[in-house]
Structure 1
Amino acid sequence: MQGTVDGFSYGVVTPLVAFLMACLGGALGLRCTTRSLLVTHSWRPAWLALGSAAIGSGIWTMHFVAMMGFTIKQTPIHYDKPITYASLGLAIVMVGVGIFIVGYRGATGTALFTGGTITGLGVASMHYLGMAGMHFDGRLSYNTLTVAASVVIAVVAATAALWAAGRVRGFLWSVGASMVMGLAVSGMHYTGMAALDVHLHLHGTSGSATGGSPATVLAPMLIGPLAFLLLAGVVVMFDPLMVMGKPTRRDVEDKPGVPATAVASHQHHHPPLHSGRRPVRDPRHHGSRTPQNR
């Protein structure tokens, strides 16, 4: 028996809030990744780890906020907590692998392609593992081509986000990049949902669902990731260099891989201070005249 599904039972509320969650996680993750590229090696892993957790938590929260609006009219839906939390861990780990590759190898060439692919596969894997944790009186099936399209969207979105993390400077540019990332991740989610077919068992079905609603089941699971995103936001807000998007002189000089021209340019705007003595000029180069033969 074919199930009747409704992905927007709360109207535009759940898609809008899901998009904002994806933007928030993306913005925090991109800013942390950008900051990691401007500090010494000792602090870089901490910033990259924070960025990975922020992006992973953001896309996971986006997915399950959107799932609050998903219902099957003939049967209630329940979620397996171990599988649901495993999808969160998978998202953070795979996003982290991609971010660490770009953080240490740069957002260009093979490193960008590898990191973007791994991160995108992590986003897609989180989505479909989270769907596997959904239990009801029936089974799910997927259209292969639509699933493949959702994976491609995830990989392209992740690659673009990592490129932005390595290239984009300034708060407003990062906000714009995070909005593009949020739109792409949300698009991946709803493309994956469009590939879904619900097949119900003939026994035990009725015209109306019974039991707890998806919102009631999922709301307690979202508390932890939301609290983490709030904490990451506080860290970003209280780092003035991250907010302004400007590296310090020490950051520029200590950053591995920075070309000498960049350091020279930075030093040109911040010349070394002297002790206040006026430089001694060689009179031979300042208009000195030699006696003329008369």
Structure 2
Amino acid sequence: MDMTDVQHFALGDWLLLLAYLTSVVGCTVGLSCTLQARYALSARSRLSWLALAALSIGGVGIWLMHFVAMLGFSTPGMPVRYNVFWTVLSAVLAVVSVFGGLLVFGVRTRFAWWRLIAGGVITGLAVNLMHYTGMWGLEVKGSIGYQPGLVVLSVVIAVVAATAALWFTVAVDKPLHRLAAGLVAGIAVTGMHYTGMAAMRVHLDMGAPDPAGVEVFSFLFPVFVLAAVALAVPICAVLMAPPPGSRRAPVQVPAKQPA
């Protein structure tokens, strides 16, 4: 049995739009936090903003998008299961890897091209790392392989679009422009995911043992509760923070000279 028996939109084509919008929301909020980090007045504040950005982009924009998209994956008539360890690890790797990329790019106020490129590469690779780690936890009645050419293409898509999204955070500072950055980042994540899924080669075998693990729908409640928290905290922080660029370093008052 071959790939013709695998479905990526078993619940309907609308799942593609939902997955994309999930990524856009997470990435837009996260990139807003990244912009706030560039105007932070202290290293501690800057790192806090970047941590919130990584939580939003990595946890929601990347991992939750992957989770939503995988709701449509099916091998009709055969079970699909997920290894809990690899699934959770993919979420952790997404957040940690994005934080690493943002540290390179967003830890300094002054713009530098090498930081943008390095941050884009690391963040783009983080998308791929999460995806293929999560797919390692996918269990089917058979075996799974990948077409190398499409795997490489998925990496290129993620890196290029992630770099473009990061560039938006310093090139513009208006809300609509930040939304545009989120739309670009959403394309990176969603495009990478479905390119990676196109690279997958599933060989189903009726005689193979049933896969171990749990069904994807078993994750629904805890995942969406955690996702709500991962979005609510950064959103509240952005709403309560002053507009980017309005903060100024405190004026240094010279000490009085002794008479």
Same-fold call, TM cutoff 0.5: yes
- Deviation of 1:146 after TM superposition, in Å, equals 0.4
Letter in 1 for 2:171: R
Establish whether residue 15 from structure 1 lines up as the match of residue 16 from structure 2. yes
Q: 1:47 aligns with which of 41, 46, 49?
A: 49
Structure 2 equivalent of residue 124 of structure 1: 128
Moved over 3 A (4+): 211-214
- Which has the larger displacement, 76-85 or 224-233? 224-233
Q: 1:182 aligns with which of 173, 181, 186?
A: 186
Structure 2 equivalent of residue 30 of structure 1: 31
Letter in 2 for 1:138: G
Counterpart-to-counterpart distance in 2, 1:127 and 1:204: 25
Gaps of 5+ in 2: 253-259
Counterpart-to-counterpart distance in 2, 1:204 and 1:196: 19
Gaps of 5+ in 1: 255-294
Counterpart-to-counterpart distance in 2, 1:122 and 1:61: 14
Structure 2 equivalent of residue 247 of structure 1: 246
Q: Sequence identity, in percent? A: 38
Q: Within 5 A, what are the aligned runs for 1:145-156?
A: 145-156=149-160
- Deviation of 1:246 after TM superposition, in Å, equals 4.4
Letter in 2 for 1:28: V
User: Contact 2:151–2:199 at 8 Å: present in 1 too?
Assistant: yes
Q: CA 1:100–1:212 in 2, change beyond 3 Å: closer, same or farther?
A: closer
| Partner secondary structure for residue 143 of structure 2 | strand
Residue-by-residue CA offset, 1:52-91 (whole Å, 9 max, x unaligned)? 1110012100001000011111411111111111001111
Counterpart-to-counterpart distance in 2, 1:6 and 1:165: 37
Q: 1:70 aligns with which of 47, 58, 73?
A: 73
Q: CA 1:50–1:133 in 2, change beyond 3 Å: closer, same or farther?
A: same
Counterpart-to-counterpart distance in 1, 2:59 and 2:140: 26
- Deviation of 1:213 after TM superposition, in Å, equals 5.6
Letter in 2 for 1:12: D
Counterpart-to-counterpart distance in 2, 1:249 and 1:35: 13
Establish whether residue 236 from structure 1 lines up as the match of residue 235 from structure 2. no
Aligned length: 246
- Which has the larger displacement, 23-32 or 104-113? 104-113
Counterpart-to-counterpart distance in 2, 1:39 and 1:250: 9
Counterpart-to-counterpart distance in 1, 2:209 and 2:137: 20
Q: Within 5 A, what are the aligned runs for 1:133-212?
A: 133-203=137-207
Taking structure 1 as the reference length, the TM-score comes to 0.77
User: Contact 2:35–2:170 at 8 Å: present in 1 too?
Assistant: yes
Taking structure 2 as the reference length, the TM-score comes to 0.87
Structure 1 equivalent of residue 102 of structure 2: 99
Instruction: Please give the root-mean-square deviation of Cα atoms over the aligned residues, in Å.
Output: 2.3
User: Contact 1:112–1:162 at 8 Å: present in 2 too?
Assistant: yes
Structure 1 equivalent of residue 59 of structure 2: 57
User: Contact 1:107–1:162 at 8 Å: present in 2 too?
Assistant: no
| Partner secondary structure for residue 78 of structure 1 | strand
- Deviation of 1:110 after TM superposition, in Å, equals 1.3
- Deviation of 1:226 after TM superposition, in Å, equals 3.1
User: Contact 1:116–1:155 at 8 Å: present in 2 too?
Assistant: yes
Structure 1 equivalent of residue 2 of structure 2: 2
Letter in 2 for 1:83: W
Counterpart-to-counterpart distance in 2, 1:10 and 1:2: 20
